[in-house]
Chains A and B, each alone.
Chain A
């Protein structure tokens, strides 16, 4: 019932507004001729547009001063530094173009409004010289941006340095699983047909000797060493996810059936970043950036960047996934798996 009342009220208000507007239009048409009225309107509207432009410029400044503190802190990776630089360059170029074109747009609109004193237009159909200029200048500017972009793109997507740490991260609805290769530096083979939510979340091959010392973190927490390049091997168990690392300015899809990779060099530890941001709760977050279902927004992982000593200490405390104390009881594993599914 209330829904109809709401709709009826909205309708009534609109009707009244329309009647008032209609009446004012008729009243105006009695007072003066259409062309006179148009000229008056021109002055009002052209002034309002200029006011809009000036308020808009102030608004841009206001928006920036209020929001700039909410932006990301300095880049936490080497790759991110070149991103930041490139962003500033692009922002400067587009910002200048934005200001020039908008100034011209609102200035011309205001200056050439039709009034009692300004009654005719200047016949100008084309000018090859002008058109040539504003075809080539954007083309050159774009070429410069493309060159900067492709240089960075080449570095970011190029091969990871040989000394890189390799970590695997696998997405599933709705969390991240992280795997380290253990002491042997070799990942055990995995096959999606071996997956069991209770005993083998990644479908690792327990016959493969390389699997024996692999470490699996199911809480989505990844430990990295500051200053040491890391290469992520990215996979997905079900639908497409995306490893989004805003603080490192990196991102890569996790696609079922395909392995994707991404590498970067963390440069700031979590502890240092807590000081930089003056936020004791600061944490590097892994956000899923590809729509993956109803829990997409809660698919959160974290990264802890630490010094080599801290990392070694943490690493020593980890037990391999197939270690006896980690293994689930052999019985009722299937039931557990079903239970997990039912919860989903």
Chain B
């Protein structure tokens, strides 16, 4: 169905939805259909973003609590008892709840914030706006996608308050630990709720991703060929493809786990003696779960990274007033990353006792990813070379993104090489590596995107001085927290330990751990500054006065400052050129929008 058809047939085909198709009629909508059960992709994007921000605060606060334990294992913090009650009696975190916090921190940040909050927000906001569509292919499915995510979140939130505590087997929830109630307190009801919540989350993710792919493939405006699309579109497209192909595998793993937990099957369980008795299960394989989990788990890393890569490309180009260098190389490298993402999962499993031959294949494929990643980095560097750089807040974060992506990516070369991974596996080196590359770096991509498209979302700017302060606190803080952690990892310090003071080999890092914890607290408050800036600017920010405040070439800036449902008043503009024509247009502007026809004799890029 074409965009026009979608809009003009709204009265017949979408009778229940008749107000939505007509931006230019400005019917008063009921609050509930406009802001809550909205089918407008821009509102859904904001819902994803705000929900993501709330989850990010919860997840970050959890890290502050367990960092207090790690940094000051012999001290008590009465404030923790106020927040956590029984779990932190006398202001001292219990080991059970420490592990629950670690597990929830990972789950929340990886899935709820950096998957739903990141690609949920920007796929929804940008896809129709940048390809030139009135809305998603199925606005209703899109709405469902958010509400499945919402319900998944509610269930996960409830699990924080039950008596036995939330799931506590790590965000990867390896069985048998996660399968047997006897193995851990959190493997009881908490784990059931975790599994239900995650399955709903996958439903949400699939509904969203199918929509993103069909919108990008079918609903591009006239002239918007695939190779004229901005790189954000390519990135979000590959993100959605990765999600569609890998999330169902995760669910299959979960279903088997649910069977093992509740119905006496032995998919993952074999020869276990626990709780004083031998279980009847024989013949299962605990490693099978890890294969199923990481078949999603690794593409998940790129589900998190790709949107940031796309947005950073867009923002670096726009604010350097220079085309992205190697547009096609960027697309091909994303294709490479997407394909390889499916072929490297077992590098998380080098020390599970899997076949060493299989291990060597995965080493080769894993280190191959360094090639497209390197191409991207060099292309970004060349993009800013001889540019005319405006250091706006989104640009700062995009530059920070590149720095963090390099730092975190390089340590991946250590971990992907199995002979080094043997020693570094499950140490703080891993923590440092993935927090820099898919934690902070992805967050920098997200922040860059928020600062860049905030004017499109709310018709206002976020406060700039605060944005710069936020940038430097986060940038400096991230390196101060995670750089020294590499040393702990090189020294073999295992991750997920509650207390290191009994270990002769690791107890010397006490001072460093305290230092890291203090920085974590500072960075946490730095993020609150951002959150306040975000919400206060919705009502109080400086108003956007021109349609195209960044002088960008892409389609979203041809819509009105506060676009209604349907995005463009009148016809959807036609596209005549690629998205990165940053050069003199002959009228004193340093950019040529995609909607400008080619001049006579001008060759297309």
Contacts and interface: CB of A to CB of B under 8 A. Distances in A.
Contacts of A48: 472
A134 B384 contact: no
B389 A112 contact: yes
Interface in A220-243: 234, 237-240, 242
Contact of A291 (B177, B387, B590): B177
A147 B392 CA distance: 44
A291 to B, nearest CB: 4
A317 B258 CA distance: 49
Contacts of B598: none
B249 interface: no
Contact of A109 (B399, B487, B494, B495): B399
A25 B536 CA distance: 15
Given A105-B402, A153-B359, A192-B273, A289 B494 contact: yes
B245 interface: no
Interface stretch (A210-218, A248-256, A319-327): A248-256
Given A18-B533, A289-B425, A72 B387 contact: no
Nearest to B356: A157
B476 interface: yes
A142 B371 contact: yes
Contact of A134 (B169, B374, B414, B532): B374
Nearest to A255: B286
Contact of A22 (B96, B463, B505): B463
B503 A238 contact: no
Interface in B357-405: 359-360, 363-364, 367-368, 370-371, 374-375, 377-379, 381-382, 384-392, 396, 399, 402-403
Most B-side CB within 10 Å, residue of A197, A237, A291, A337: A291
Contacts of B8: none
Interface in B451-481: 463-466, 468-469, 472, 475-476, 479-480
A312 interface: no
A138 interface: yes
A199 interface: no
A82 B496 CA distance: 28
Interface stretch (B180-188, B199-207, B566-574): B180-188
Nearest to A254: B353
A276 interface: no
A59 B479 contact: yes
Interface string A181-194: 00000000000110
A158 B359 CA distance: 12
B420 A257 contact: no
B389 A114 contact: yes
B491 interface: yes
Interface stretch (B114-122, B146-154, B294-302, B316-324): B316-324
Contact of A246 (B184, B483, B492): B492
B329 to A, nearest CB: 5
Contacts of B423: 80, 83, 246, 249-251
B158 interface: no
B505 A247 contact: yes
A122 B322 contact: yes
Interface string B8-20: 0000000000000
Interface string A131-173: 1001100110010011011101110111000000000000011
B384 A257 contact: no
Contact of B528 (A14, A83, A293): A14
Contact of A260 (B176, B353, B584): B353
B276 A337 contact: yes
A78 interface: no
Given A90-B414, A125-B605, A14 B391 contact: no
Interface string A103-142: 0110011001110001111111111001100110011001
B2 interface: no
Given A46-B391, A244-B426, A338-B276, A150 B271 contact: no
Most A-side CB within 10 Å, residue of B417, B490, B509: B417
Given A42-B389, A146-B367, A291-B170, A238 B273 contact: yes
Interface in A27-71: 29, 38, 41-42, 45-46, 48-49, 52, 56, 59-60, 63, 67-68, 70-71
Interface in B421-470: 422-423, 425-427, 463-466, 468-469
A288 interface: yes
B468 A297 contact: no
Contacts of B391: 38, 41-42, 45-46, 109, 113
B406 interface: yes
A134 B271 contact: no
Nearest to B328: A126
A70 B371 CA distance: 34
B285 interface: yes
A87 interface: yes
Contacts of A338: 276
Interface string B213-227: 000000000000000
B521 interface: no
Contact of B322 (A121, A142, A145, A257): A121
Given A102-B406, A118-B388, A244-B492, 12 more contacts: A10-B525, A86-B420, A108-B384, A112-B389, A120-B584, A121-B321, A149-B417, A240-B176, A250-B422, A256-B270, A292-B177, A297-B497
15 contacts: A10-B528, A14-B528, A38-B392, A42-B391, A72-B490, A72-B505, A83-B422, A90-B417, A109-B391, A131-B375, A142-B413, A149-B419, A192-B271, A250-B422, A252-B353
